[in-house]
Amino acid sequence: MRLITAKEIYQAKEENKPIYIDKDTIVTPLARDIAKENNVSFEDGSSCKKEKVEVVETKECALSEDEIYNILKLGIENKFFTEKDLENLLGKEDEKKTSLNIIPVGISGRHVHLSKEHLEILFGKDYELTPIKNLTQPGQFASKETVTLAGPKSVIENVRIIGPVRSKTQVEILTSDAFKLGLKPVVRLSGHLEGTPGITIIGKKGTVVLDEGVIVSQRHIHLNEEQGRERNLKNGDVVKLRTRGIRSAILDNVSVRVGDNGYLDCHLDQEEANALGLNSKSYVEIVR
């Protein structure tokens, strides 16, 4: 297949030659108009292969968007290729698959989830948390209230409470916090608290001593059912992530959490994100 461009027509005009075409030549409407304006004629070049090859080899194609569009349209109409072939050729299919695997990053700092019972001990009977910011996971919010964490070695003040209340109190800290407090850092998924260290939580009105419940959050991906289906991921799967940038890395052991109320997000803790050069506007890619 050969395309006649405006440039070729101007060249033909300058050389005072006709343009040779055959059944495999596409003359775009624009090229045809320019030829007419410049009195350049088209001649049957089926028996003039040499001339044609020379033209193709010496001409550089500079096509306008309209020309490209018309060529592709003609190509499809003449069944040179299908739309599907074009998508494959342009890598659109791969692009679709890749884009589904690129997901946003959510970064968590230290925070506390409280049971209703513990909230009342720390802040008083029938106390309700005051939301100040909604989090990406639907229904979750950062509250105005904070607590103090007291470990065997030291304390950390102003630790944010994430609402609403849960069935069990859980304290999520960073690895460096564990060292500061004098606790062993235990990396776990939310809710998996057996055998984790305890801590003392101090509120405005009272104190709670936990026997267990302090974790360093294990990285994970949240999805809802549909997002899981689209990506062929189910609850409990473990995948790898690829990150980009100067500190790019492949991350193993990323747990998949599919829930009705999930929101597409990859949760990393603040320290991991810092180590990888990621922030809350970053994206990562699921690789399998």
List residues near Zn ion by CB under 5 A: 267
Nearest distance in Å: CB 219, Zn ion: 9
Nearest distance in Å: CB 167, Zn ion: 17
Residue 60 CB-half CA count within 13 A: 1
Nearest distance in Å: CB 254, Zn ion: 11
Nearest distance in Å: CB 267, Zn ion: 4
- Which residues, in sequence order, are bridge partners of residue 245? none
Instruction: Tell me the residue nearest to Zn ion as measured from the CB.
Output: 267
Say what the alpha-carbon torsion angle 214, 234, 278, 183 is, to the nearest 10 degrees: 10
Which CB atom, from 64 or from 134, has the smaller least distance to Zn ion? 134
Measured CA distances, 57 to 47, 61, 149 (Å): 18, 10, 75
Which CB atom, from 122 or from 266, has the smaller least distance to Zn ion? 266
Nearest distance in Å: CB 193, Zn ion: 15
The rounded distance, in Å, linking the Cα atoms of 116 and 203 is: 14
Which CB atom, from 111 or from 267, has the smaller least distance to Zn ion? 267
Which CB atom, from 52 or from 267, has the smaller least distance to Zn ion? 267
Which CB atom, from 11 or from 255, has the smaller least distance to Zn ion? 255
